[in-house]
Amino acid sequence: MEENLQEDLAMLSELDEKSLLESLSQRFKQDKIYTYIGDILVAVNPFKYLPLYEKEVSERYKCHDKKSLPPHIFAVADKAYQSMLGRMGTGPKNQCIVISGESGAGKTESTKLLLRHIMELCRANSQLEQQILQVNPLLEAFGNAQTVMNDNSSRFGKYIQLRFLGTSVKGAKINEYLLEKSRVVQQDEGERNFHIFYCMLAGICADDKEIYGLLEPEQYRYLNGTSLSDDMVNHWSKKYADVCNAMDMVGFEEQEKVDMMTILAGILSLGNIMFEPGEGDVLRVTNTSVGWLKAAAGQFGVQEEELLRSLTCTMSVTRGEAIRRLHSQQQAEDARDSIAKVAYGRVFGWIVSKVNELLAPNVDPDVELHEIGILDIFGFENFAVNRFEQLCINLANEKLQYFFNHHIFLMEQREYKEEQLDWEVITYKDNKPILDLFLTKPIGILSLLDEQSAFPQATDRDFVDKLNSKFKAHPNYEVVRSHSPAFTVVHYASKVQYNGVGFLERNRDTIPASIRGLFINSVTPLLSLLFAATISRTGTLMPRKAKMAQVTEDNFNSTRKQSVGAQFKHSLGVLLEKMFAASPHFIRCIKPNRTKSPDVLDNSFIMDQLRYNGLLETIRIRRDGFSWRPTFKEFAERYSLLLLKPDIPLNRESCMHILNNTRITGWTCGSSRLFFKYWHQEELARLLDTLGRSAVVIQKNFRAVMCRRRYLELVEEMRRQRQAQREEEERRRREAEEERRRQLLQEEEEEARRRRLIEQENKRPVSPPVPLPRKKKPEPRPRSFLSGPQSAHLAPVPRPRSKLFEATPFDNDLGGPAHEERVKEKHKRRRNTIRWFRETQARKVVRNGEFPCWFHGMITRRRAEDLLTDKPLGCFLVRVGQSREGYTLTYRGANRCRHYMIEMQCNGKYVILGEDRAHPSLIDLVEYHTQAGIKPFMELLTVPCGQSCDQQPDYEELEFMVPSPPEVPHRAPDPVAMELQRLFVPPDRTSAPGALQPDKPPVLRRISDHRRRLDALVNQDEPDPKDKPVPRLYPSIRLAMREIQQIQQFSDSTDQTDVAPGNRWSPWKRTDS
């Protein structure tokens, strides 16, 4: 049994398929889902919660010894991080973690765990770590969907690049690959659309649904008429709240969120537009679709007539003459679906671009940053019907398998041969011929697909026939005899049959030119930005201003000539370049069964995965081979410290001397490099770590001696100062006594002289008295006298501290110019903070004309601690930062006061540093944390700390900023204005500054977004949480939705034989012939 529970499969005594499967099965039954193959991690998806990822577990895997703890994904994250810093036996180098496996094997969850642990390792007391962690739920909502193989399947690939400066993360970048846009308009049985649509329909409140123009999910054809149960509504509502919070945390603006949700609602409305023949050859919209056309036009911010014209005809200019070509019904439906796919794809691309912009490193471009990349890409797929997207997905997995084979087998065994080692070659399944089948020019599958896509009259049958003629003799290609165009490719994992229907259309991925021009001129700024953007050769959206796009029209057209297949091929090439330039770490995810059931192990299914992943060969090469192969120079440079000798030559003899001193066995030496087992790197790193700890001990004692010496010098200096002070005081006392004696003598002489004068005056004749000059009143001694030259040798006076601490004689320095500069800089920062508060924060903090009782203005840290000294546990206050633009929450803990920094996001949201939730205002933040504890101590806010004095509150210097509400004369309500407000203003916006006033005549006008925000800022007395942005054409959307509801009510009352709501759109589902 001990043999079966071996943590490292490379240590198995018997190496065959049976022992490998038995070892994994026994570990899986004991909930030990992680197993090593040398330095490769095998992870089996448990399909249930396991207590393996708690905080205390994460702490144990920080800078741990591999042999001391069981296999874990946290260990892989720790090794990648330490290797990036140069602590694992090699110098600092970029790292990449490659996660591979079937769909549903747990790759996405593994990515989240890796990110979480890496952010724990590099925690630097900044909000960037939390922002990076919030990217995953955001991209999951827009890029994941339910399939028959996985309830949370990634329908896109992503490569996350974490940028580090030293030990701290400084930024991140997301690279996305091949979003499955066709899922927006079509899903097979048992599958669903992207998660975000269900999140919206379940999480948006009824009033906001009316604003966006949303109905129940069974009303939409693109959702296949799916209805949501109560449990699903609760589930998707929580997901929607998480998505909104993730957007706030990352930094999305409110208006951007509203525009994005409006575009998504427009995509759903667009799918319900149906066509029928009209007069002549002109198509028209069916009666039940008229309202949906109006709703889609309002949601997209365009004119209804222009949208219909773009769907039903194509305008072209030939020799200066405009020619209109009418669409057939099928062409109109294809144009409608193309708009939906392109719009959703560009929204997703914009989200990735926005995230990259907000998380870009804020450092000097000349500073060198190190990187850890995490690849989470779609797993190998083999459905009942496999289309163009499955072909690209499986091609990406072929590339990853080739990278794995190249790094583990090909490159390693090639070096054995070059170094003339005695090595028995291990054969493996090379998938290079399959990659050549896809990527060879000019006769690869993708090249032939681009060639056929260039011909407007080419069909999917022509493409498949050409493949059959070119590759019928290829060992990895099989011809399929059927009525529908189909072909089969023998992949490294299994044989997959592809349905060729739609290959050309999806590879072209074009939209009518009129649609692009229409959306560029949309009144919705985000939609205009999306369609004015260009697409790079790797398929990345590059937003730019619409005016620039109109000037360089041909640039877009030339860029869009890149097919989807060509973009995907380029993006895979760039990805492989990044991975080959880094040190890889591999995680092979295994799916235990096809039914997604916990505690169920399908041996044959697992064995198939072990075979096509080549794990048996991997175990053999990890057991017998040498995974670490540094050159003599690299090894000597890194480990010369072990000899404790400076300036040794970087040659073979030095390496032998180092290794002989370390007593490490099992390595071998080639002609130009050394060959080590995978565990040797950790043993050498342990030796370096021992020397490092010894150096720390030496430094500690040396610094202790130096500090003690400095302390004694300071004490001696203080004694000398006090002695000098006593001598100076004695000297001054003697001088004062002498001065008094001199003054007494002078006074006696003056008195004698005065008497003589009086006697002389008495002898003179009497004359009128002359008034004496008025004696000047003595001025008080200036306060700066204490800091004059006489006080230069005075002992330092302790400054007043908090009541919770005692003063020390070394608290203050002796003053001087540096002290005065610090005081000036402090006053300057204080003035800047007051200005920031007055201009941006005063209206947000004030409620009902006054500040909340827990708001204490700009008080010091010590003052805050003094206020909370005698308060009960859980008492708190919020104060304005004195040296930064932000706030600090001071909390009375059990043993001490804690100070939590409150940061303002770039979008105006408030978040406590280290927390994962953003809040629209300080009041919302305080209310939330009365129910949810503040991490990491989970402390609840219970009692607000009131002001110390009612007559003089702490925020007195900020009190003048409280705006006084203007007096508005009362008038009788205007019935016309009330009716227009009922029709055109959202139900929860009737009291907003932009709403129609009953005492004013109605004026309908179009204003810009900047002017609207400016007016709202000027007219706003107190911020209202209901006062948030709305879609630009909200009145049109509202009228369209009313028309849709009236038509549905009429049809329900007149036709009782309609299909059930759950199957409302089932006749409209497209089927592949």
The token pair that represents 345 in the structure block: 């794809």
C-alpha distances in angstroms, 238 versus 223, 235, 927?
Answer: 20, 5, 19
Q: Which amino acid, residue 27?
A: R
The token pair that represents 532 in the structure block: 């004015």
The token pair that represents 728 in the structure block: 């100076």
First to last CA, the chain: 54
Cis peptide bond prior to 936, omega within 30° of 0: yes
Give Rg (Cα) of the chain.
Answer: 38
Element (H, E) at 163: strand 157-165
Q: Which residues of 505-534 are buried (b: 16+ CB within 10 A; e: fewer)?
A: bbbbbebbebbbebbbbbbbbbbbbbbbbb
C-alpha distances in angstroms, 961 versus 177, 790, 843, 967, 1023?
Answer: 51, 45, 8, 18, 15
Q: What is the DSSP string of 270-331?
A: HHT--EEE-STT-EEE-GGGHHHHHHHHHHHTS-HHHHHHHHHEEEEEETTEEEEEEPPHHH
Q: How many CB atoms lie within 10 A of CB 714?
A: 12
Q: Is the dihedral of CA 939, 943, 946, 948 positive or negative?
A: negative
What is the three-class DSSP state of 70? coil
CB-based contact 257:911 (threshold 8 Å)? no
Q: How many CB atoms lie within 10 A of CB 997?
A: 16
CB-based contact 77:121 (threshold 8 Å)? yes
Q: How many CB atoms lie within 10 A of CB 1070?
A: 11
Q: Is the dihedral of CA 388, 389, 390, 394 positive or negative?
A: positive
Longest CA pairwise span in the chain (Å): 153
Q: Are strands 95-100 and 40-44 parallel, antiparallel or unpaired?
A: unpaired
Q: What is d(CA 913, CA 899) in angstroms, rounded to the nearest whole number?
A: 11
Residue from 189, 502, 571 nearest 338 by CA:
502
What dihedral angle (degrees, nearest 10) is formed by the CA atoms of 837, 843, 849, 852? -60
Phi, psi dihedrals of residue 1012, rounded to the nearest 5°: -65, -40
Q: What is d(CA 476, CA 489) in angstroms, rounded to the nearest whole number?
A: 6
C-alpha distances in angstroms, 530 versus 142, 222, 342, 552?
Answer: 16, 22, 10, 16
Q: Which residues fall within 8 angstroms of residue 1030, CB to CB, at 6 or more apart?
A: 211, 258, 986, 989
Q: Which residues fall within 8 angstroms of residue 29, CB to CB, at 6 or more apart?
A: 599, 601
Q: Which residues are catalytic?
A: 103-104, 108, 150, 153-154, 379, 381
What is the three-class DSSP state of 876? strand
CB-based contact 492:434 (threshold 8 Å)? yes
Q: At what angle do helices 195-203 and 230-250 cross, to 10 degrees?
A: 100
